[in-house]
Amino acid sequence: MVVKNNFFIDDFGRILILRGCNVSGGSKTPVSDIYPVPLKDPETASFVGRPFPLEEAETHFERLHAFGFNIIRLVITWEAIEHAGPGVYDEAYLAYLRKLLLIAEQYKIWVYMDPHQDVWSRWTGGDGAPAWTMEKLGIDREKIDAAGTALTEQAFHERGEPFPRMLWPTNYNRYAAATIFTLFFAGNVYAPHCRIEGESAQDYLQKRYIAAMSHCCRRLKHCKAIIGWGAMNEPSQGFIGCGDLSRLEHYSVAAGPMPSPFQAMSAASGHKTEFPVYATGIFGERITGKQTYGASLFKDGFICPWKQEGVWTDESGEPRLLKKDHFARYNNRKPVFTDDFLKPFINTFAAHIREASEKTFIFVEGLPTGTHPSWTEKDAPNVVNAFHWYDGSTLFTKSFRSWMTIDAGTRRLIAGQKNVAAYFTACLAESVQWARERMGNAPCLLGEFGLPFDMNNRKAFRTHDYRLHEQALSLYFDAVDNNLLNATIWNYTPDNTNARGDGWNGEDLSIFAEGQTRGIRGWLRPYPMATAGEPLRIQWDRKRVVFIYRFKADPSIQEATEVFIPTIWFSPKLVITANTPLTYDYFPENERLFVYNNGFSGEAEIRITGGRNS
Instruction: Read off the pLDDT of residues 494-520 as tens digits, 9 standing for 90 and up.
Output: 999 999 999 999 999 999 999 999 999
Q: Which residues of 428-462 are buried (b: 16+ CB within 10 A; e: fewer)?
A: beebbebbeebbebbbbbbbbbbbbbbbeeeebbe
CB atoms within 10 A of CB 465: 10
Which of 19, 47, 21, 20 has the alpha carbon at shortest distance from 492? 21
Q: Is the pLDDT of residue 371 over 70?
A: yes
CA distance 451 to 448: 10
Residue 614: band (very low, low, confident or very high) from pLDDT cuts 50, 70, 90:
very low
Annotated catalytic residue, options 79, 448, 470, 507: 448
Q: Are strands 404-406 and 383-385 parallel, antiparallel or unpaired?
A: unpaired
CB-hemisphere CA count at 13 Å for 299? 9
Annotated catalytic residue, options 234, 365, 470, 591: 234
Is 430 catalytic? The answer is no
Is 234 catalytic? The answer is yes
- Which CATH superfamily, name and number, covers 529-611? Golgi alpha-mannosidase II (2.60.40.1180)
* Element of type H or E holding 281: strand 273-281
Q: Count of residues for the chain? A: 614
3-state secondary structure 315-341: CCCCCEECCCCCCCCECCECCCHHHHH
Would you identify the CATH topology of the domain 17-130+183-240+334-524?
TIM Barrel (3.20.20)
Q: Is the pLDDT of residue 284 over 80?
A: no
In the chain, ranges of CATH 3.20.20.80 domains = 17-130+183-240+334-524
Question: Does this model's pTM top 0.85?
Answer: yes
CA distance 24 to 513: 12
Would the CA dihedral through 427, 433, 439, 441 be positive or negative? Answer: positive
CA distance 364 to 360: 13
- 498 with 461: CB under 8 angstroms? yes
In the chain, ranges of CATH 2.60.40.1180 domains = 529-611
pLDDT digits (tens, 9 = 90+) for 55-97: 999 999 999 999 999 999 999 999 999 999 999 999 999 999 9
pLDDT at 611: 81
